[in-house]
Structure 1
Amino acid sequence: MDNEQKPALKKHRIFIILLLLIGILLTWNLRLFWIQVASARSFTSRNIDLVENSVIQREKGIVLDSGRGDFYDRNGIPLTGRSYPVLTVFPVRDQETNAAREAAMKQIAQILNVPYSEWSRFVSGVSYPQVWPGTGRPAALSDRQAQQIEEAGLADIRVTLFRQRYDAAQTASQVVGYIGQNPERVTRQFTDQFHKGELQLTSKIGNAGLEKTFEPWLQGIGATTVSLYTDATKNPLPGLDARIMTPDNRYYPLKVITTLDSELQRQIEARMDKLQIAEGAVVVLDIGNADTLVMASRPAFQPEHIDLSDGAWSNKALKASAPGSIFKTITATAALEEGAAAPDEVFDCSGQLGQYGFTCWKKDGHGAITLEEAYAESCNIVFAKVAQRLGGAKLEEYARRMGLAQQVGWSGTIPQQRDFRQWDAEEKGQIYQSGTNPKDGGVLVQTAIGQRDVLVSPLQAANLVVTLFHQGKVLSPRVVQEIRFRNDRLYQSFQPARKAPDQGKAIHSATAKRLLGWMEEVVEYGTGRALGAASWSLAGKSGTAEVTLDGGRPGENQWFIGYGPAEHPRYAVAVELSRVPAGQKNKSIPLFREVMDVLAAAKR
């Protein structure tokens, strides 16, 4: 071979070697691609891909805390979110069952006070991390139980801290409301968060009560989970073991501070149950600024087990119903403001009006009686005659001036929202239905005593008493006073607010003062005489409205509204028992007394 051919042959060999190297690299890359991508979609028992192995090394975690913000009462006591130790079982198995493990398992069964067969069956059936007992509410462990279980030293049995959002007997459950899945609202109301992946169609959001109205502030920034790191054979990896993962943010989740007093709430709910109140509500407002201290509703419900088909969730305190004679407070106010009747003007009540089939509750009548006395004795005839002088339009005008026939709860503009309302599903109530003629004589006399079309909510009724105390100025009851960061720094405050009357100016202070005095007379010698033996001197107004129950049966709404103590008023209270079958004992006054006794005891 001559010297000229040698360089050419050398270049040829180099070219062939480069082609082989390129081929090897290409084959290697294709193989890696197959292992890392193709095998992630489908693999055989012989080819377990790298991605799957990495997933296997950490078992599915348990959510110990959703990260959602909680509600607190005015004293900083949590209304939601109780943390307690629970027993968590991971799907980790020893290579073989030995005597030591069996002994430890039996020991744990004894600690839990359950049959060993039941406990062993639960553990052996665990295919993903589960909290004992597996179904329903996780069982809370005592400190002693938690210590003994940890000392047992089993790799798959651990004690973790679990955060339960609602108690088994949730205080103020109707006010708090509940969370649940609501795909339609997620896509409609939280569109941006949904598209960003922060919320899914299966995310639980507030569906009612404060959980719903304060949803934007309650959403956390991530859940707290516990996971157990294992190898492919489901044995714990040395040095990793069980790990709790949490956002650990000093600012979130936020705290929603309500105006409620949880201890008063709990006691008053207990009094309602003691009197076997099947359906009704109690509202207690701070008479000084209209803050909601207690709002109790029956029937109660457990927020974790909602069956909307049976109507279990409905905050009766915000639902408008026929008020009966407590509406005479409006008729009396209009009469005094318009000069339609003087307090000492004498009327005659024979028990019948003589037209429209209208009668007084006292069949034989009250005889000669003044307007002032008629309020204390709740005479229907006198108020029908006064209404005839006023006319239907005036009744509606003064009802609106006093905060009826409108949403009265706190509303306003805040940085995050315009026209924000704290209360969920607050009903406006009404004086006349659409199409009703206020000039009709029969409509007029029935409206004057809170019948016919008139609807008032317990919140409006309690606020009516506050309005009288504030010389006719209508306030807007709050239920939330502020939102705070996790570290207690202020995030957003909601100041007490005055609500402009829906129609016309406020009433004169002299009229308001006179009505408050008349409420004292109701207790002194009128329909509220049974309250004379209460812990405090009280004042108020009774009401009974005729309603029709299911099947056309006659029933009634039983009311009492008022304040106490009479000398130095602190609380405005409204009590309503809804849809009580006719003939049953009136429990509104006994319940009002029970509520006031609780309030009196709390201030001693």
Structure 2
Amino acid sequence: MQLQLFQTESFTKHKINLIEESVEQRTQQLIIDEGRGEFLDRNGDPLSYEEKNVLILFPFLKSMEWPVEKVADILHVPVNTIKTKVEKAKAPFVFGGNKPFQLSEEEMEAINGLEIQGLFALKRKFPKQEMLASQLIGITGENEKMFHERYPDKVKGAHQEIGVSGLQETFDEWLVAEEQAKLIYHVDARGGPLFGVDVKYLAPSNPFYPLNVKTTIDSKLQQELEEVADTYNIEKGGLLLLDIEKSEIVANVSRPKINIKDPYGGTGATNYMFKSLIPGSVFKTAVAAAAIDEKIVDETTVFPCSEDIYGNQAEKQYGNINIKKSFAVSCNRTFAELAKSLTEKNPNLIEQYAEKLGLIGDISWQGDIYHYSNFKQLQLGESKIFSSEEEKKDMNFVSQTGIGQREVRVTPLGVANMMATIARGGQKYRVSAVSAVEYENGNSMFSFPKEKGEGETISRYTAMKLQQYLRGVVTDEKGTARYLQAAAYPIAGKTGTAETGKYEGEEVPSNQLYNKWFAGYFPFDEPKYALVAVNLDVKINEGGIYPIFKDAVDAVYRKEKNID
């Protein structure tokens, strides 16, 4: 009774599905589709898999008379190549193995027209070896214990893979497979056909499943930016492209790449675009916003920019200059002084303005969907400005914070969102990477509407001033990003070169490692995209960020203008 009725699909504490196990014991089968939902780009094209026309053969063909010559002729391969594969086979197999022999539609039709039992030409899904936006999409793994913890009511398919990172994990409940599509035949104890050579095709009966997740990724732009990252040999870092109007991630490139065989080796599974990093001078944007909005400074005020933040002689001599010029040349002294003035007025002002800009705080799309309340699309690293209240009382710490050092940690996504907020004139929105969850037939199960960010934002006047200052970084005769004047679009943005406190080898200045940033938006007059490029743990004379940013902008331009 226990075996046959009560615990048939969940036997013992290990929850063994006896029906599935008995079927596996007396059959040989080849999975055509695992049944897990897939990820699509914004145009509905697959991101996580590709379909191939393949030939599948069953081992019982070796004991049959079948027109192998005709099959070989259709495939244009030697007869012995097919015969040898069948003779060695102990289970159903795809002709060509890991690099399957791909058939044309005509070849498929011709092979299936022969009506050979045990030989099938069909479409099969294969995981992409190099999936676009792989860290954003995430990875899956087989973990039976975790499967039962997540889905205690599910008894079928406990051996299937579940999402363990990225969107695969976040949207796992909708993606998890209900049924597999497979070719199956029954065998005796020696592996021979039990009921003749009758092969059955078992497929899900519900036309609405599996569900698919439609992302906001543009495959072409994603591919272009992946190539930019590889051209410049970014070992650690990446690029993030944001649609300003829709507040959607268009491309998410993170390096190092994921190694499919060892996804957690070498931190390849980490999405550095969502990781909290030291921003350096990019953070001066938030300090400037606070100082302008709080009327701490105007353009008549000048700062001694031949001095560093401690009053010593600076490496670069700019003389006494105002905030606009200070922003263009990235004068540390100016923003250290502004940070101190802001903190003296209110110890929480810098943090408050970082949040008003959408740099920190709840910047991921979140809301009530399905049976989830406050569902979050994106899992981001925890950003911070100060590590403790005590630090706000030490003006040396505050000075370092004002230039994006000390304990400041923000995500590239947060920086891109800040740039988008400024480009929109101060309007703040939460960011999404998924637009909808769709049924298999393409109809929407539910969607994610554009969502305003909570809390206060900066004034329109402050946003306008920041727009001018960000543009000056590129156009000013001494601006830090003059190189970007050659880009296909006019750019506004901010440079960042952050000291990491790390060294490559001996702790000497030449071996010090930096995080190099450029963040901005374009086209300047009609903003459409915000872009962040970051190259992590590189030496001061290596890993230049401007060519990376420029080439990414130029790639967007070519795509927008349909230039090959």
Question: For 1:93 and 1:300, how far apart are their aligned partners in 2?
Answer: 42
TM-aligned CA deviation for residue 269 of structure 1: 0.9
What is the TM-score when the length of structure 1 is the normalising length? 0.81
| From 163, 167, 188, the counterpart of 2:149 | 188
Amino acid at match of 1:131: V
Task: Indicate the residue corresponding to 1:545 in structure 2.
Answer: 498
Given candidates 138, 157, 171, the residue that maps to 2:132 is: 171
Matched ranges for 1:84-483 at <5 A:
84-95=52-63, 111=76, 116=80, 120-134=83-97, 136=98, 138-143=100-105, 146=108, 155-164=117-126, 166-193=127-154, 197-200=155-158, 202-228=159-185, 234=192, 241-302=198-259, 304-355=260-311, 360=314, 363-391=315-343, 393-423=348-378, 425-434=379-388, 437-483=391-437
**Structure 2 letter corresponding to 1:475:** Y
2:560 partner letter? K
| Match status 1:81 vs 2:45 | no
The one-letter code sitting in structure 2 at the alignment partner of 1:158 is: F
Q: 2:463 is matched with which residue?
A: 512
Residues in 1 aligned to 2:178 and 2:547: alpha-carbon distance in whole angstroms: 48
- The 2-side partners of 1:122 and 1:250 are apart by 35
Distance 1:152 1:252, change over 3 A: closer
Contact 2:309–2:399, Cα closer than 8 Å, also in 1: no
Q: C-alpha offsets along residues 486-506 of structure 1, whole Å, 9 cap, x if unaligned? A: 2222211111111213xxx32
Whether contact under 8 Å (1:352, 1:365) holds in the other structure is no
- Offset, 1:331: 0.9
Q: Letter of the 2:317 partner, please give it.
A: G
Query: Which secondary structure state, in structure 2, belongs to the residue aligned with residue 326 of structure 1?
Result: helix
Name the CA shift for 1:56/1:541 in 2 (closer, same or farther; >3 Å).
closer
Q: Distance in 2 between matches of 1:199 and 1:225?
A: 13
Give 5+ residue unaligned stretches, structure 1.
1-50
The CA deviation at 1:394 is: 2.3
Q: Per the alignment, do residues 57 and 461 of structure 1 end up closer, same or farther by CA in structure 2, a change over 3 Å counting?
A: closer
Equivalent position SS for 1:600:
helix
Of 121-130 and 207-216, the range deviating more from structure 2: 121-130
Query: Could you tell me how far 1:474 is from its partner in structure 2?
Result: 2.5
**Matched AA of 1:72:** L
Structure 1 residues 234, 430: CA separation in 2 closer, same or farther (over 3 Å shift)? same
Q: What secondary structure does 1:316 align onto? A: coil
1:111·1:148 contact (CA, 8 Å) conserved in 2?
no
CA distance 1:145–1:370, change in 2 (3 Å) = same
- Contact 1:56-1:231 at 8 Å conserved across structures: no
Within a 5 Å distance, the mapping from 1:575-594 to structure 2 comes to 575-586=533-544, 588-594=545-551
**Contact 1:94/1:235 (8 A) holds in 2:** no
Q: Secondary structure at the match of 2:532?
A: strand
Residue identity in the other structure for 1:507: I
Q: Is the deviation greater in 152-161 or in 517-526? A: 152-161
Superposed CA deviations along residues 514-544 of structure 1, whole A, max 9, x for unmatched, are 1011111111111111111111111111111
Change (3 A) 1:217 1:350: same
**Alpha-carbon RMSD:** 3.0
Distance 2:85 2:390 in 1: 65
SS in 1 for 2:392: coil
For structure 2, list consecutive stretches of 5 or more residues without a partner in the other structure.
1-18
Bigger share in helix = 1
1:201-255: CA deviations, max 9, x gaps? Answer: x3211111111111111123311101246789946967x7333221142211112
CA distance in 1, matches of 2:262, 2:205: 32
Structure 2 counterpart of 1:86, which letter? V
- Contact kept, 8 Å, 1:230 with 1:241, in 2: the verdict is no
State the Cα distance separating 1:584 from its structure 2 match: 1.1
Aligned length: 531
- 1:112: how far off? 5.0
Q: Report the Cα distance in structure 1 between the residues aligned to 2:380 and 2:540, rounded to whole angstroms.
A: 28
Give the whole-Å Cα distance in 2 for the aligned partners of 1:231 and 1:56.
12
Q: Would the aligned equivalents of 1:92 and 1:236 in 2 still touch at CA under 8 Å?
A: no
- Measured after TM superposition, the shift of residue 287 of structure 1 is 1.1
- Whether the aligned pair in 1 keeps the contact of 2:504 and 2:513 (CA below 8 Å) is no
SS in 1 for 2:382: coil
Residues 94-118 of structure 1 deviation map (CA, whole Å, 9 limit, x = unaligned): 558x8x878679768x8457x947x
SS at match of 1:289: coil
Please say if residues 234 and 543 of structure 2, whose CA atoms lie closer than 8 Å, have aligned partners that are also in contact. no
Residue in structure 2 matched with residue 72 of structure 1 by the alignment: 40
Counterpart residue identity of residue 537, structure 2: R
Alignment partners' CA distance in 2, 1:93 and 1:384: 78
Q: Secondary structure at the match of 1:163?
A: strand
Distance 2:415 2:376 in 1: 19
- Residues 528 and 589 in structure 1, CA contact (< 8 A), matched pair in contact too: yes
* TM superposition score normalised by structure 2: 0.86
* Residues 1:522 and 2:473 aligned together: yes
Shift, 1:262, TM fit: 0.9
Q: Which residue of 1 aligns with 2:9?
A: none
1: CA distance, partners of 2:316 / 2:213 = 55
Identity of aligned residues (%): 30
